Structure 1
Amino acid sequence: MEEYTTMPVPPTHEADETKGQISSGTAVLSTAAMPLQSFNPLANICEAFCGLHLYPNDKKRQVISYHYCSMLDADRRQCLIYDSNTKDAKLIAVEYIISQKLFESLDENEKKFWHSHKYECESGLLVQIAKTGVPEMVVETAEIPSLQHLCNTYGKTHQLWPVDDEGNCSSKVPYGPPQILASFTADGQVLPELLEKRDKAMRISTETKRKEREGRVQGNAPVEGADQWFTKGLAWQIYDQGERGVVEARQ
Protein backbone atom coordinates (compact mmCIF):
# COMPACT_ATOMS: atom_id res chain seq x y z
CA MET A 1 0.00 0.00 0.00
CA GLU A 2 1.25 3.46 -0.84
CA GLU A 3 1.78 5.64 2.21
CA TYR A 4 0.28 9.11 2.25
CA THR A 5 0.68 11.54 5.10
CA THR A 6 -1.45 14.43 6.20
CA MET A 7 -0.15 17.90 5.37
CA PRO A 8 1.45 19.57 8.41
CA VAL A 9 -0.31 22.60 9.82
CA PRO A 10 1.41 25.89 8.87
CA PRO A 11 2.51 28.11 11.78
CA THR A 12 -0.43 30.52 11.56
CA HIS A 13 -1.25 30.71 15.26
CA GLU A 14 -3.80 33.19 16.50
CA ALA A 15 -2.37 36.55 17.53
CA ASP A 16 -2.47 37.12 21.28
CA GLU A 17 -4.26 40.45 20.91
CA THR A 18 -7.27 38.90 19.11
CA LYS A 19 -7.52 35.38 20.49
CA GLY A 20 -10.78 34.87 22.37
CA GLN A 21 -11.79 38.51 22.11
CA ILE A 22 -14.92 40.00 20.52
CA SER A 23 -15.36 43.68 19.72
CA SER A 24 -17.79 45.57 21.96
CA GLY A 25 -19.96 46.44 18.94
CA THR A 26 -20.27 42.82 17.87
CA ALA A 27 -21.02 41.72 21.42
CA VAL A 28 -23.82 44.28 21.76
CA LEU A 29 -25.38 43.28 18.43
CA SER A 30 -25.25 39.59 19.30
CA THR A 31 -26.79 40.12 22.73
CA ALA A 32 -29.58 42.31 21.34
CA ALA A 33 -30.42 39.83 18.57
CA MET A 34 -30.44 36.71 20.76
CA PRO A 35 -34.03 37.04 22.10
CA LEU A 36 -35.32 37.43 18.53
CA GLN A 37 -33.78 34.27 17.12
CA SER A 38 -34.54 30.55 17.24
CA PHE A 39 -31.88 27.98 18.15
CA ASN A 40 -34.06 24.88 17.92
CA PRO A 41 -31.48 22.51 16.38
CA LEU A 42 -28.98 23.38 19.13
CA ALA A 43 -31.64 22.99 21.82
CA ASN A 44 -31.95 19.35 20.75
CA ILE A 45 -28.38 18.55 21.90
CA CYS A 46 -28.77 16.06 24.73
CA GLU A 47 -25.43 14.24 25.07
CA ALA A 48 -21.85 15.41 25.65
CA PHE A 49 -18.81 13.13 25.33
CA CYS A 50 -15.06 13.55 25.21
CA GLY A 51 -13.07 11.12 23.08
CA LEU A 52 -10.03 10.92 20.85
CA HIS A 53 -9.69 10.44 17.08
CA LEU A 54 -6.79 9.69 14.77
CA TYR A 55 -6.00 10.28 11.10
CA PRO A 56 -6.02 6.77 9.58
CA ASN A 57 -3.29 7.70 7.06
CA ASP A 58 -1.10 9.45 9.66
CA LYS A 59 -1.60 7.52 12.91
CA LYS A 60 0.62 9.77 15.04
CA ARG A 61 -1.67 12.72 14.26
CA GLN A 62 -4.38 12.50 16.91
CA VAL A 63 -6.85 14.92 18.48
CA ILE A 64 -8.96 15.28 21.63
CA SER A 65 -12.58 15.76 20.58
CA TYR A 66 -15.47 17.16 22.60
CA HIS A 67 -18.74 15.86 21.14
CA TYR A 68 -22.13 17.53 21.60
CA CYS A 69 -24.80 15.28 20.10
CA SER A 70 -28.48 15.34 19.23
CA MET A 71 -30.66 12.41 18.23
CA LEU A 72 -32.55 12.34 14.95
CA ASP A 73 -34.16 9.02 15.88
CA ALA A 74 -33.30 5.70 17.53
CA ASP A 75 -30.81 4.87 14.76
CA ARG A 76 -29.14 8.23 14.11
CA ARG A 77 -27.20 10.85 16.05
CA GLN A 78 -25.34 13.91 14.79
CA CYS A 79 -22.53 15.54 16.76
CA LEU A 80 -20.79 18.90 16.71
CA ILE A 81 -17.17 18.45 17.77
CA TYR A 82 -15.04 21.12 19.45
CA ASP A 83 -11.41 21.27 20.56
CA SER A 84 -12.38 22.06 24.17
CA ASN A 85 -15.43 22.54 26.37
CA THR A 86 -14.88 26.27 26.87
CA LYS A 87 -16.94 29.17 25.47
CA ASP A 88 -14.28 30.07 22.88
CA ALA A 89 -13.85 26.48 21.62
CA LYS A 90 -13.35 25.95 17.88
CA LEU A 91 -15.85 23.84 15.92
CA ILE A 92 -13.33 21.39 14.46
CA ALA A 93 -15.36 18.42 13.20
CA VAL A 94 -18.75 16.81 12.62
CA GLU A 95 -19.58 13.19 13.35
CA TYR A 96 -22.60 11.17 12.25
CA ILE A 97 -23.41 8.13 14.38
CA ILE A 98 -25.67 5.30 13.25
CA SER A 99 -26.91 2.01 14.67
CA GLN A 100 -25.45 -1.37 13.76
CA LYS A 101 -28.61 -2.11 11.76
CA LEU A 102 -28.11 0.98 9.59
CA PHE A 103 -24.40 0.31 9.17
CA GLU A 104 -25.12 -3.22 7.94
CA SER A 105 -27.45 -1.74 5.31
CA LEU A 106 -24.69 0.40 3.73
CA ASP A 107 -22.98 -0.72 0.55
CA GLU A 108 -19.40 -1.95 0.79
CA ASN A 109 -17.97 1.21 -0.76
CA GLU A 110 -19.62 3.43 1.86
CA LYS A 111 -18.63 1.25 4.83
CA LYS A 112 -14.94 2.06 4.39
CA PHE A 113 -15.47 5.60 5.74
CA TRP A 114 -17.00 4.45 9.05
CA HIS A 115 -15.49 3.36 12.34
CA SER A 116 -16.74 1.26 15.26
CA HIS A 117 -17.15 2.49 18.83
CA LYS A 118 -16.75 -0.81 20.69
CA TYR A 119 -13.15 -0.37 21.86
CA GLU A 120 -13.36 3.26 22.94
CA CYS A 121 -16.53 2.60 24.96
CA GLU A 122 -15.12 -0.48 26.71
CA SER A 123 -11.62 0.92 27.28
CA GLY A 124 -12.55 4.23 28.93
CA LEU A 125 -11.38 6.40 26.01
CA LEU A 126 -14.89 7.79 25.52
CA VAL A 127 -16.34 9.56 28.58
CA GLN A 128 -19.30 11.76 29.34
CA ILE A 129 -18.66 15.46 29.94
CA ALA A 130 -20.09 16.19 33.37
CA LYS A 131 -20.69 19.53 35.01
CA THR A 132 -18.20 20.65 37.65
CA GLY A 133 -19.11 19.32 41.07
CA VAL A 134 -21.19 16.33 39.96
CA PRO A 135 -20.10 13.32 42.09
CA GLU A 136 -18.28 10.54 40.22
CA MET A 137 -20.84 7.97 41.40
CA VAL A 138 -23.62 9.98 39.75
CA VAL A 139 -21.58 10.33 36.54
CA GLU A 140 -20.92 6.58 36.47
CA THR A 141 -24.60 5.76 36.96
CA ALA A 142 -25.56 7.86 33.93
CA GLU A 143 -22.51 6.97 31.84
CA ILE A 144 -22.67 3.17 31.84
CA PRO A 145 -26.09 2.68 30.11
CA SER A 146 -25.37 5.48 27.64
CA LEU A 147 -22.04 3.96 26.61
CA GLN A 148 -23.52 0.47 26.41
CA HIS A 149 -25.88 1.81 23.76
CA LEU A 150 -23.09 3.63 21.92
CA CYS A 151 -20.91 0.52 22.00
CA ASN A 152 -22.73 -1.02 19.02
CA THR A 153 -22.88 2.13 16.88
CA TYR A 154 -20.70 3.36 14.01
CA GLY A 155 -19.36 6.83 13.28
CA LYS A 156 -18.33 8.82 10.23
CA THR A 157 -16.22 11.84 11.20
CA HIS A 158 -15.18 14.77 9.03
CA GLN A 159 -12.35 16.78 10.60
CA LEU A 160 -12.73 20.38 9.39
CA TRP A 161 -9.80 22.00 11.22
CA PRO A 162 -6.34 20.44 10.64
CA VAL A 163 -4.36 19.05 13.56
CA ASP A 164 -0.73 20.03 14.16
CA ASP A 165 2.08 17.84 15.49
CA GLU A 166 1.02 18.57 19.08
CA GLY A 167 -2.57 17.44 18.53
CA ASN A 168 -3.94 21.00 18.47
CA CYS A 169 -6.04 22.84 15.88
CA SER A 170 -3.65 25.79 16.01
CA SER A 171 -3.99 27.37 12.55
CA LYS A 172 -5.78 30.70 12.23
CA VAL A 173 -8.38 29.29 9.83
CA PRO A 174 -9.56 25.74 8.98
CA TYR A 175 -7.60 25.40 5.75
CA GLY A 176 -7.70 22.51 3.27
CA PRO A 177 -10.34 19.87 2.49
CA PRO A 178 -12.16 17.92 5.21
CA GLN A 179 -10.34 14.83 6.47
CA ILE A 180 -11.75 11.44 7.41
CA LEU A 181 -10.95 10.48 11.01
CA ALA A 182 -11.03 7.06 12.65
CA SER A 183 -11.51 5.66 16.15
CA PHE A 184 -9.04 3.63 18.19
CA THR A 185 -9.51 -0.12 18.04
CA ALA A 186 -6.88 -1.63 20.36
CA ASP A 187 -4.46 -0.92 23.18
CA GLY A 188 -1.21 0.83 22.31
CA GLN A 189 -2.63 3.07 19.56
CA VAL A 190 -3.35 6.30 21.42
CA LEU A 191 -0.41 8.58 22.23
CA PRO A 192 0.18 8.36 26.02
CA GLU A 193 0.91 12.08 26.33
CA LEU A 194 -2.34 13.00 24.57
CA LEU A 195 -4.37 10.69 26.80
CA GLU A 196 -2.68 12.16 29.86
CA LYS A 197 -3.54 15.66 28.64
CA ARG A 198 -7.19 14.65 28.15
CA ASP A 199 -7.45 13.01 31.56
CA LYS A 200 -5.92 16.04 33.25
CA ALA A 201 -8.32 18.42 31.51
CA MET A 202 -11.33 16.23 32.41
CA ARG A 203 -10.04 15.39 35.91
CA ILE A 204 -10.58 11.69 35.31
CA SER A 205 -8.59 8.48 34.96
CA THR A 206 -9.11 6.46 31.77
CA GLU A 207 -7.80 3.37 33.55
CA THR A 208 -10.35 3.81 36.35
CA LYS A 209 -13.11 4.23 33.76
CA ARG A 210 -11.99 1.02 32.09
CA LYS A 211 -12.19 -0.93 35.34
CA GLU A 212 -15.64 0.50 36.09
CA ARG A 213 -16.90 -0.78 32.73
CA GLU A 214 -15.56 -4.34 32.94
CA GLY A 215 -18.51 -6.69 32.45
CA ARG A 216 -20.90 -3.72 32.27
CA VAL A 217 -20.09 -2.17 28.88
CA GLN A 218 -19.67 -4.86 26.22
CA GLY A 219 -20.13 -4.45 22.49
CA ASN A 220 -20.66 -6.83 19.61
CA ALA A 221 -17.71 -7.65 17.40
CA PRO A 222 -17.41 -4.85 14.81
CA VAL A 223 -19.24 -5.59 11.57
CA GLU A 224 -17.08 -6.45 8.54
CA GLY A 225 -16.33 -3.32 6.54
CA ALA A 226 -15.73 -0.90 9.45
CA ASP A 227 -12.28 0.22 10.68
CA GLN A 228 -10.59 -0.63 7.38
CA TRP A 229 -7.45 1.34 8.32
CA PHE A 230 -6.96 -1.29 11.06
CA THR A 231 -8.48 -4.46 9.62
CA LYS A 232 -7.24 -4.14 6.02
CA GLY A 233 -4.52 -1.47 6.14
CA LEU A 234 -6.59 0.78 3.87
CA ALA A 235 -6.28 4.42 4.96
CA TRP A 236 -9.04 6.10 2.98
CA GLN A 237 -8.56 9.85 2.90
CA ILE A 238 -9.31 13.07 0.96
CA TYR A 239 -6.35 14.75 -0.74
CA ASP A 240 -6.02 18.25 -2.21
CA GLN A 241 -4.31 18.12 -5.60
CA GLY A 242 -3.15 21.75 -5.43
CA GLU A 243 -3.04 23.70 -8.67
CA ARG A 244 -5.15 21.13 -10.48
CA GLY A 245 -7.99 22.10 -8.16
CA VAL A 246 -9.00 18.48 -7.71
CA VAL A 247 -10.02 16.84 -4.44
CA GLU A 248 -10.07 13.06 -4.54
CA ALA A 249 -10.36 10.13 -2.15
CA ARG A 250 -7.85 7.33 -2.43
CA GLN A 251 -6.21 4.72 -0.24
Structure 2
Amino acid sequence: MPSDAPKHVDTSKGQTSSGAAVMAQAVSYLESFQPLSHICEAWCGIHVKPDDPAKQNIAYHYCSMIDEDRRQCLIYDRNAPNAKLIGVEYIISEKLFMTLPMDERKFWHSHKYECESGLLVQISKAGVPEMVVAAAEKAPLEILVNTYGKTWQLWPLDEHGCCSSHVPMGPPQLLMSFTADHQVHQAKVAERDKEMNISTATKRKEREGVIVGHPVAPGADQWCSGKVWQICANCHQKKH
Protein backbone atom coordinates (compact mmCIF):
# COMPACT_ATOMS: atom_id res chain seq x y z
CA MET A 1 0.00 0.00 0.00
CA PRO A 2 1.29 3.53 -0.73
CA SER A 3 2.68 5.10 2.40
CA ASP A 4 0.77 8.33 1.78
CA ALA A 5 -2.64 6.60 1.97
CA PRO A 6 -5.41 8.82 3.43
CA LYS A 7 -5.86 8.68 7.18
CA HIS A 8 -8.83 9.61 9.35
CA VAL A 9 -8.82 13.20 10.52
CA ASP A 10 -10.76 14.30 13.59
CA THR A 11 -12.80 17.28 12.36
CA SER A 12 -12.91 18.70 15.88
CA LYS A 13 -9.14 19.26 15.79
CA GLY A 14 -9.09 21.95 13.12
CA GLN A 15 -8.74 20.95 9.48
CA THR A 16 -7.17 23.17 6.85
CA SER A 17 -10.19 23.04 4.55
CA SER A 18 -13.94 22.65 4.88
CA GLY A 19 -14.05 20.76 1.60
CA ALA A 20 -12.92 20.75 -2.00
CA ALA A 21 -16.21 22.25 -3.22
CA VAL A 22 -15.80 25.30 -1.00
CA MET A 23 -12.22 25.74 -2.14
CA ALA A 24 -13.24 25.50 -5.78
CA GLN A 25 -15.90 28.16 -5.25
CA ALA A 26 -13.32 30.48 -3.67
CA VAL A 27 -11.04 30.00 -6.63
CA SER A 28 -13.82 30.92 -9.00
CA TYR A 29 -14.94 34.13 -7.34
CA LEU A 30 -12.45 35.56 -4.89
CA GLU A 31 -8.82 34.66 -5.13
CA SER A 32 -5.85 35.79 -7.19
CA PHE A 33 -2.95 33.53 -8.15
CA GLN A 34 -0.64 35.95 -9.93
CA PRO A 35 2.69 34.24 -9.09
CA LEU A 36 1.37 30.94 -10.44
CA SER A 37 0.16 32.60 -13.62
CA HIS A 38 3.81 33.22 -14.51
CA ILE A 39 4.67 29.52 -14.64
CA CYS A 40 5.67 29.04 -18.27
CA GLU A 41 7.71 25.81 -18.38
CA ALA A 42 7.07 22.22 -17.33
CA TRP A 43 9.90 19.69 -17.13
CA CYS A 44 10.37 16.18 -15.78
CA GLY A 45 13.70 14.94 -14.49
CA ILE A 46 15.13 12.46 -12.00
CA HIS A 47 16.86 13.63 -8.83
CA VAL A 48 19.35 11.79 -6.64
CA LYS A 49 20.08 12.09 -2.92
CA PRO A 50 23.86 12.70 -2.86
CA ASP A 51 24.49 11.06 0.50
CA ASP A 52 22.43 8.00 -0.52
CA PRO A 53 22.62 7.66 -4.34
CA ALA A 54 20.35 4.61 -4.26
CA LYS A 55 17.49 7.04 -3.55
CA GLN A 56 16.36 8.46 -6.88
CA ASN A 57 12.99 9.99 -7.62
CA ILE A 58 11.01 11.32 -10.56
CA ALA A 59 10.38 15.05 -10.23
CA TYR A 60 7.87 17.18 -12.12
CA HIS A 61 9.02 20.81 -12.32
CA TYR A 62 6.78 23.81 -13.04
CA CYS A 63 8.92 26.89 -13.54
CA SER A 64 8.61 30.63 -13.85
CA MET A 65 11.21 33.19 -14.92
CA ILE A 66 12.49 35.84 -12.52
CA ASP A 67 14.76 37.28 -15.20
CA GLU A 68 17.07 35.95 -17.92
CA ASP A 69 19.50 34.59 -15.33
CA ARG A 70 17.06 33.09 -12.80
CA ARG A 71 14.20 30.56 -12.78
CA GLN A 72 12.24 29.19 -9.83
CA CYS A 73 10.46 25.85 -9.96
CA LEU A 74 7.81 24.11 -7.90
CA ILE A 75 8.45 20.36 -7.81
CA TYR A 76 5.62 17.82 -7.56
CA ASP A 77 5.61 14.03 -7.26
CA ARG A 78 3.41 13.60 -10.35
CA ASN A 79 1.64 15.48 -13.11
CA ALA A 80 -1.88 15.23 -11.73
CA PRO A 81 -4.47 17.39 -9.91
CA ASN A 82 -3.79 15.55 -6.64
CA ALA A 83 0.00 15.92 -6.88
CA LYS A 84 1.94 16.78 -3.74
CA LEU A 85 4.42 19.63 -3.62
CA ILE A 86 7.64 17.86 -2.63
CA GLY A 87 10.31 20.49 -3.24
CA VAL A 88 11.66 23.57 -4.94
CA GLU A 89 14.51 24.23 -7.34
CA TYR A 90 16.27 27.47 -8.16
CA ILE A 91 17.98 27.58 -11.56
CA ILE A 92 20.58 30.15 -12.52
CA SER A 93 22.68 30.92 -15.57
CA GLU A 94 26.33 29.97 -15.91
CA LYS A 95 27.20 33.66 -15.78
CA LEU A 96 25.48 34.06 -12.42
CA PHE A 97 26.85 30.78 -11.07
CA MET A 98 30.39 31.98 -11.76
CA THR A 99 29.81 34.92 -9.40
CA LEU A 100 29.02 32.64 -6.45
CA PRO A 101 31.66 32.08 -3.76
CA MET A 102 33.18 28.60 -3.85
CA ASP A 103 31.64 27.72 -0.48
CA GLU A 104 28.17 28.33 -1.95
CA ARG A 105 28.78 26.30 -5.09
CA LYS A 106 28.75 23.01 -3.14
CA PHE A 107 24.94 23.26 -3.02
CA TRP A 108 24.54 23.47 -6.80
CA HIS A 109 24.45 20.92 -9.60
CA SER A 110 24.95 21.20 -13.35
CA HIS A 111 22.30 20.39 -15.96
CA LYS A 112 24.71 19.48 -18.78
CA TYR A 113 24.38 15.70 -18.54
CA GLU A 114 20.62 15.50 -18.01
CA CYS A 115 19.94 17.83 -20.95
CA GLU A 116 22.31 16.02 -23.31
CA SER A 117 21.28 12.51 -22.21
CA GLY A 118 17.52 12.97 -22.53
CA LEU A 119 16.87 12.69 -18.79
CA LEU A 120 15.32 16.16 -18.68
CA VAL A 121 12.18 16.26 -20.82
CA GLN A 122 9.38 18.70 -21.42
CA ILE A 123 5.99 17.77 -19.95
CA SER A 124 3.50 17.92 -22.79
CA LYS A 125 -0.26 17.52 -22.97
CA ALA A 126 -1.67 14.14 -23.94
CA GLY A 127 -1.91 13.66 -27.67
CA VAL A 128 0.83 16.11 -28.66
CA PRO A 129 3.03 14.37 -31.28
CA GLU A 130 6.58 13.59 -30.16
CA MET A 131 7.95 15.41 -33.22
CA VAL A 132 6.25 18.60 -32.03
CA VAL A 133 7.54 18.17 -28.47
CA ALA A 134 11.12 17.55 -29.67
CA ALA A 135 11.02 20.73 -31.75
CA ALA A 136 9.58 22.76 -28.86
CA GLU A 137 12.21 21.45 -26.41
CA LYS A 138 15.20 22.47 -28.49
CA ALA A 139 15.40 26.21 -27.77
CA PRO A 140 14.91 26.01 -23.98
CA LEU A 141 17.27 23.03 -23.71
CA GLU A 142 19.99 25.05 -25.44
CA ILE A 143 19.70 27.45 -22.51
CA LEU A 144 19.13 24.95 -19.70
CA VAL A 145 22.14 22.83 -20.65
CA ASN A 146 24.40 25.62 -19.35
CA THR A 147 22.46 26.36 -16.16
CA TYR A 148 22.89 25.27 -12.55
CA GLY A 149 20.29 24.18 -10.02
CA LYS A 150 19.88 24.20 -6.24
CA THR A 151 17.17 21.72 -5.21
CA TRP A 152 15.59 21.24 -1.80
CA GLN A 153 13.26 18.31 -1.23
CA LEU A 154 10.77 19.12 1.52
CA TRP A 155 8.67 15.94 1.54
CA PRO A 156 10.70 12.68 1.48
CA LEU A 157 9.63 9.90 -0.89
CA ASP A 158 9.79 6.15 -0.42
CA GLU A 159 11.17 3.61 -2.91
CA HIS A 160 7.86 3.68 -4.80
CA GLY A 161 7.95 7.44 -5.33
CA CYS A 162 5.17 8.01 -2.76
CA CYS A 163 5.43 10.51 0.06
CA SER A 164 6.87 8.56 2.96
CA SER A 165 4.76 10.27 5.64
CA HIS A 166 1.29 11.77 5.93
CA VAL A 167 2.81 15.24 6.33
CA PRO A 168 6.35 16.41 5.41
CA MET A 169 8.76 15.17 8.07
CA GLY A 170 12.31 16.18 8.95
CA PRO A 171 14.56 18.93 7.59
CA PRO A 172 14.84 19.77 3.88
CA GLN A 173 17.21 17.54 1.94
CA LEU A 174 19.56 18.76 -0.75
CA LEU A 175 19.17 16.85 -4.01
CA MET A 176 21.44 16.70 -7.03
CA SER A 177 21.33 15.84 -10.73
CA PHE A 178 23.25 13.11 -12.53
CA THR A 179 26.52 13.66 -14.36
CA ALA A 180 27.19 10.21 -15.91
CA ASP A 181 25.39 7.11 -17.18
CA HIS A 182 26.52 4.76 -14.41
CA GLN A 183 24.83 6.87 -11.71
CA VAL A 184 21.30 6.43 -13.05
CA HIS A 185 19.04 3.50 -12.21
CA GLN A 186 17.68 2.35 -15.55
CA ALA A 187 14.61 0.95 -13.80
CA LYS A 188 13.77 4.48 -12.66
CA VAL A 189 14.24 5.79 -16.20
CA ALA A 190 11.94 3.06 -17.51
CA GLU A 191 9.36 3.96 -14.86
CA ARG A 192 9.47 7.62 -15.88
CA ASP A 193 9.26 6.74 -19.59
CA LYS A 194 6.19 4.62 -18.93
CA GLU A 195 4.53 7.39 -16.91
CA MET A 196 5.09 9.93 -19.67
CA ASN A 197 4.83 7.59 -22.67
CA ILE A 198 8.22 8.67 -24.00
CA SER A 199 11.63 7.14 -24.76
CA THR A 200 14.66 8.63 -23.04
CA ALA A 201 16.90 6.68 -25.45
CA THR A 202 15.17 8.34 -28.41
CA LYS A 203 15.49 11.76 -26.76
CA ARG A 204 19.19 11.17 -26.28
CA LYS A 205 19.70 10.23 -29.91
CA GLU A 206 17.77 13.29 -31.08
CA ARG A 207 19.98 15.56 -28.98
CA GLU A 208 23.39 14.13 -29.96
CA GLY A 209 25.48 16.95 -31.44
CA VAL A 210 22.49 19.29 -31.11
CA ILE A 211 22.24 19.96 -27.37
CA VAL A 212 25.84 20.38 -26.25
CA GLY A 213 26.74 22.17 -23.04
CA HIS A 214 29.86 23.98 -21.93
CA PRO A 215 32.31 22.18 -19.63
CA VAL A 216 30.91 22.14 -16.09
CA ALA A 217 32.05 25.16 -14.11
CA PRO A 218 34.38 24.65 -11.12
CA GLY A 219 32.62 24.02 -7.83
CA ALA A 220 29.44 22.40 -9.13
CA ASP A 221 28.55 18.71 -8.67
CA GLN A 222 30.83 18.31 -5.66
CA TRP A 223 28.84 15.26 -4.56
CA CYS A 224 30.51 13.30 -7.37
CA SER A 225 33.87 13.65 -5.63
CA GLY A 226 32.48 12.58 -2.26
CA LYS A 227 31.89 16.07 -0.87
CA VAL A 228 28.31 15.78 0.38
CA TRP A 229 26.45 18.29 2.51
CA GLN A 230 23.04 17.91 4.17
CA ILE A 231 21.08 19.55 6.97
CA CYS A 232 21.37 17.36 10.06
CA ALA A 233 18.04 16.47 11.68
CA ASN A 234 19.52 16.57 15.19
CA CYS A 235 21.96 19.45 14.85
CA HIS A 236 19.99 21.46 17.44
CA GLN A 237 20.66 18.85 20.10
CA LYS A 238 23.61 19.29 22.40
CA LYS A 239 26.26 16.59 22.35
CA HIS A 240 26.90 14.90 25.69
Whether TM-score is above 0.5 comes out as yes
**Aligned partners of 2:67 and 2:238: how far apart in 1?**
38
The structural deviation recorded for 1:174 is: 0.9
Q: 1:197 corresponds to which residue?
A: 191
Q: 1:88 corresponds to which residue?
A: 82
The structural deviation recorded for 1:236 is: 1.1
The structural deviation recorded for 1:16 is: 7.2
| Letter of the structure 2 residue corresponding to residue 244 of structure 1 | Q
Map 1:132-151 → 2, pairs under 5 A: 132-151=126-145
Map 1:87-236 → 2, pairs under 5 A: 87-230=81-224, 232-236=225-229
| TM-score, structure 2 as length reference | 0.91
**Aligned partners of 2:16 and 2:233: how far apart in 1?**
35
- Contact 1:54–1:62 (8 Å) recurs in 2: yes
The structural deviation recorded for 1:37 is: 1.0
Q: 2:12 corresponds to which residue?
A: none
- Contact 2:171–2:231 (8 Å) recurs in 1: yes
Q: Deviations over 1:152-199 (max 9, x none)?
A: 000000000112233432321110000000000001111111111000
Instruction: State the superposition RMSD in angstroms.
Output: 2.1
| Letter of the structure 1 residue corresponding to residue 107 of structure 2 | F
- Contact 1:14–1:171 (8 Å) recurs in 2: no
Match of 1:30 among 23, 33, 54: 23
Q: Deviations over 1:78-130 (max 9, x none)?
A: 00000000000000010000000100000011000000000000000000000
Match of 2:6 among 12, 15, 25: 15
**Aligned partners of 2:117 and 2:25: how far apart in 1?**
45
**Aligned partners of 2:111 and 2:17: how far apart in 1?**
43
SS in 1 for 2:152: strand
Q: 1:5 corresponds to which residue?
A: none
- Contact 1:61–1:167 (8 Å) recurs in 2: no
- Contact 1:167–1:194 (8 Å) recurs in 2: no
**Aligned partners of 2:126 and 2:17: how far apart in 1?**
29
| TM-score, structure 1 as length reference | 0.87
Q: 1:61 corresponds to which residue?
A: 55
Q: 1:4 corresponds to which residue?
A: none
- Contact 2:77–2:161 (8 Å) recurs in 1: no
- Contact 1:62–1:163 (8 Å) recurs in 2: no
- Contact 1:76–1:99 (8 Å) recurs in 2: yes
Change (3 A) 1:16 1:192: farther
The structural deviation recorded for 1:17 is: 7.6
| Letter of the structure 1 residue corresponding to residue 230 of structure 2 | Q
- Contact 2:3–2:163 (8 Å) recurs in 1: no
Q: Does 51-60 or 30-39 show the bigger shift?
A: 30-39
- Contact 2:3–2:162 (8 Å) recurs in 1: no
